[in-house]
Structure 1
Amino acid sequence: MTAEVLENNEKPRGTSAFIFNQTAPGPTQPWSWAERMLTSTPTYWLVTTSPDGRPHSRPLWGIWQRNTFWFSSQNRCGEFLKVNPRASVNVQTGEDVVMIEGSCSRVLGDDINVLAEGVGAKYDWELTVREDRVHTRFGQSAPVFRLNPERIYGWTGIAGWETATRWDFTRS
């Protein structure tokens, strides 16, 4: 799966999303708009589910690269993802929103460098990689995950629901 994700640079085509019990009339947003939000947003909200079904939401840093969301967490969400890998990541800039839905997988080996290098460039925060984890200079360490999108939604402005767009991702 790793090679497939890393080589998948295909740009998804957006369609009008079904939202508020109807299909948005459009116009749809271009993929470049969603990708710009996913790339530039400083804080993301990760939503997972505990083993007993309770939602768990937390802010975190991450990067959008190669049509995949990369993050690390020493929080309990990592344990939750072992039981149920389904998750969503949400971003908001002003009233513009983008939401990723998909499944998470643990990242091992050299692929961890994608996150370490991306966090260094985006946040000016040094992470080192060893023992299949990222480590901070303060002694914290965490496993690395990626959220492989199945579907992404986005629209401009709360009142601009008619621009609600859905992008579908296929994984082989």
Structure 2
Amino acid sequence: MTDPTPRLDQRFSDPGTQATPWPVTREALEHAQLFWITTVRSDGRPHVTPLVAVWLDDALHFCTGPAEQKTFNLAANPHVVLTTGDGHWDRGLDVVVEGEAVRVTDPAALARLAAAWSAKWDGRWRFQATGTGFAHEDGGRALVFTVTPAKILAFTKGTFTQTRYLPGA
């Protein structure tokens, strides 16, 4: 998603508005403290839950416990939607990332991601990279996933715009 071309959807945007520039949306992804992930249960029902994630190398990365509902859902269907934003209707920016969650097991990638988590939250989220994911200081384990965006939508509020970014666009 390196510098994708933003595309304003005029159907859902105020007249005379401009698309949200990619650097603004990228900054929102980099600095968001909380995301909501939507996965699909085996019976087709959606499952939504909050989590922390990091934006690194043009992708979102998250972790989850091996016995959590997200993990079971992802084993059957890797399609996810991650959202972040502001709870106000008349100001702020909301961002939606669609893609497939792919498990990360490469030790070098896991070590780099563990460092990114620690740096983003001033050391409050500390993980050790293992051969299967992350280990918590308390002994807990987490699986790590990467979502390379298939599509990103940005919703600017106040002056309302809907901007779409596609990989390679």
One fold, TM greater than 0.5?
yes
Q: Displacement of 1:141 after TM fit?
A: 0.6
Q: Displacement of 1:17 after TM fit?
A: 2.6
Q: Displacement of 1:94 after TM fit?
A: 4.9
Equivalent of 2:85 in 70, 87, 92: 92
- 2:103 is matched with 106
- 2:117 is matched with 119
Equivalent of 2:2 in 7, 10, 20: 10
| Unmatched runs of 5 consecutive residues or more in structure 2 | none
- 1:51 is matched with 42
Indicate conservation of the 8 Å contact 2:95/2:153, yes or no. yes
Q: Does 1:78 align with 2:76?
A: no
RMSD of aligned C-alpha atoms? 1.8
Give, in whole Å, the separation in 2 of the partners of 1:58 and 1:105: 18
Q: Secondary structure at the match of 1:81?
A: helix
Q: Displacement of 1:133 after TM fit?
A: 1.4
Q: Does 1:41 align with 2:25?
A: no
Partner AA of 1:155 in structure 2: F
Q: Greater share of helix residues, 1 or 2? A: 1
Q: Displacement of 1:137 after TM fit?
A: 0.5
| Unmatched runs of 5 consecutive residues or more in structure 1 | 1-8
* Structure 1 runs, 4 residues or longer, greater than 6 Å off: none
Kindly provide the CA deviation profile for residues 116-144 of structure 1, in whole angstroms up to 9, marking residues without a partner as x. 11111011121001122101111111110
Q: Displacement of 1:10 after TM fit?
A: 2.1
Indicate conservation of the 8 Å contact 2:110/2:130, yes or no. no
Percent identical among aligned pairs is 25
- 1:155 is matched with 155
Give, in whole Å, the separation in 1 of the partners of 2:87 and 2:42: 33
